[in-house]
Amino acid sequence: MLLQAYYEENVVEQAPDLMPMRIVEIELEQALPNISAVDPKTQRRYQRVLAVVRLHTQPLGLAELPLSTEELAPATYAPLLWNALSSEINEHCQQDGLPKLSELPLQGLASTTPPRCLAEREAFLASPDLPLVSVIIPTHDRPETLASCLEGVLAQRYPRFEVLVVDNKPSTDATQRLLTQISGTHPQVRYLREERPGIGNAANCGIAAAQGEILAFTDDDVVLDPYWLVELVRGFRQAEKVACVTGLVLPLELEQPAQFWFEQYAGFTKGFQRRLFDMKEHHPRMPLHPYMAGRFGTGASMAFTASFLKSIGGFDPALGGIDKVKAGLDIAAFFEVMMHGYRLVYEPRALLYHLHRRDYSGLRRQLYNYSVGFTSHLTRCIWERPHLLLSLLPQLIYGFLFAFFNRSIKNRLQQSSYPKELKQLEFKGMLFGPLAYLQSRRVARKALPKTHFS
């Protein structure tokens, strides 16, 4: 509490980069709106805004805009959007067969016929062989955020899906009561209870009960775009042998220093361009591929074919919070996709917003756990495949520089206000990771019987 009070009361005053930002979406197909300095929902006043710029619902990028007046007029901010994202806007127009632009029209980019990207999505949704998707949401004692998440899930534009909420070792019946109420009007929503602790066990419980051909996973503290599920499923058709698709995750709010520092640490955002990963022609020419699997996506927005997940025995509970290791479950699964000869697609059109931790103490735990999870994942790689040791060791030097060198890709977003203590916690977590994994693995083996998949 003392640390949090210090950072919130002293550091923020000295760091303009931590000044709260209002997050708004701007759809360029429509007439550009006036942007108020006051959020109509919270009545909070802001001095800057983070615009999520979209065209035909596709996210193109982010642009920071100043709010020096009560209202920002389109004529004022349109040139700023154009300077920031003109190449992305024209690239999208070219893909849709639309004329190239030299400026951003204030009246929007509406056309008389449906743009190609939307026509392709509608044609996909009209196909008779759409796969059934199981949306699996592990949760633990957070019925308030879960209710908001489920609202977004049930508003998805995809026609064939079920929802499995896995209540992981709950301390109350609040989540069960919420699900009883929701499932009364939405029978596709099912409640599951998993007494073994840890998100890995909860996710595996969902896998065992799921009926879908595709299994989509998200967190209980997100707000989903209506097209999130559609675009995840479409991602499996972007190439052959795709076993996993991940999506774009943006911050739901940027109000507290901890939320900005999480974005500066790495955040969940992996960019606005679709990317294909495998071990052959789509192999990033960077060290630690595919070990540094966090660049592929995040567990808050990921989908797998059910056949693949069941073939590898689901997620590793030792990486899912059962003991010392609280993270790494998702990147280990991404790694398995690569090692089994499949492909992974990162699809930014599958968009959701994540509620980052607001308190500094929560951020400290989160970043420490991520660091423990990363080297636990590396330890698992060697434990499961000892022959990889010789190829991995030389790359660990790069991994160390990537994590701690100030000018590395990972750290270049960190501002002067970024607490040095967080870097120290990263280092401690990475050192502890190998031992933590071995301890968690031993606990997992002694726990209740492993989930079996049919």
The answer to which of 6-20, 88-102, 205-219, 406-420 has the lowest mean pLDDT is 6-20
For 318-329, what is the mean pLDDT?
Answer: 87
For 117-132, what is the mean pLDDT?
Answer: 96
Determine the Cα–Cα distance for residues 139 and 203; give it in Å rounded to an integer.
10
Looking at this protein, which amino acid is placed at residue 215? L
List, for residues 329-357, the tens digit of each pLDDT value. 999 999 999 999 999 999 999 999 999 99
Residue 279, pLDDT above cutoff 50: yes
User: Reduced to 3 states, what is the DSSP secondary structure of residue 40?
Assistant: coil
End-to-end CA distance of the chain: 48
For 145-180, letters b (16+ CB in 10 Å) and e give ebeebbebbbebebeebbbbbbbbebeeeebeebbe
Determine the Cα–Cα distance for residues 426 and 318; give it in Å rounded to an integer.
20
Residue 1, pLDDT above cutoff 50: no
pTM, full prediction: 0.93
For 208-235, what is the mean pLDDT?
Answer: 97
Instruction: Please report how many Cα atoms fall inside a 13 Å half-sphere around the Cα of residue 306, on the Cβ side.
Output: 18
Comparing 36 with 450, the larger pLDDT belongs to 36
For 274-290, what is the mean pLDDT?
Answer: 84
How do the domains of the chain map onto residue ranges? Answer: 20-124, 130-446
Residue 410, pLDDT above cutoff 60: no
Residue 423, pLDDT above cutoff 60: yes
Give the domain 130-446 fold: Spore Coat Polysaccharide Biosynthesis Protein SpsA; Chain A (3.90.550)
Residue 190, pLDDT above cutoff 80: yes
Sign of CA dihedral 381, 285, 326, 205: negative
The answer to which of 7-16, 172-181, 407-416 has the lowest mean pLDDT is 7-16
User: Reduced to 3 states, what is the DSSP secondary structure of residue 271?
Assistant: coil
- Of the candidates 99, 74, 103, the one whose C-alpha atom is nearest the C-alpha of residue 86 is 103
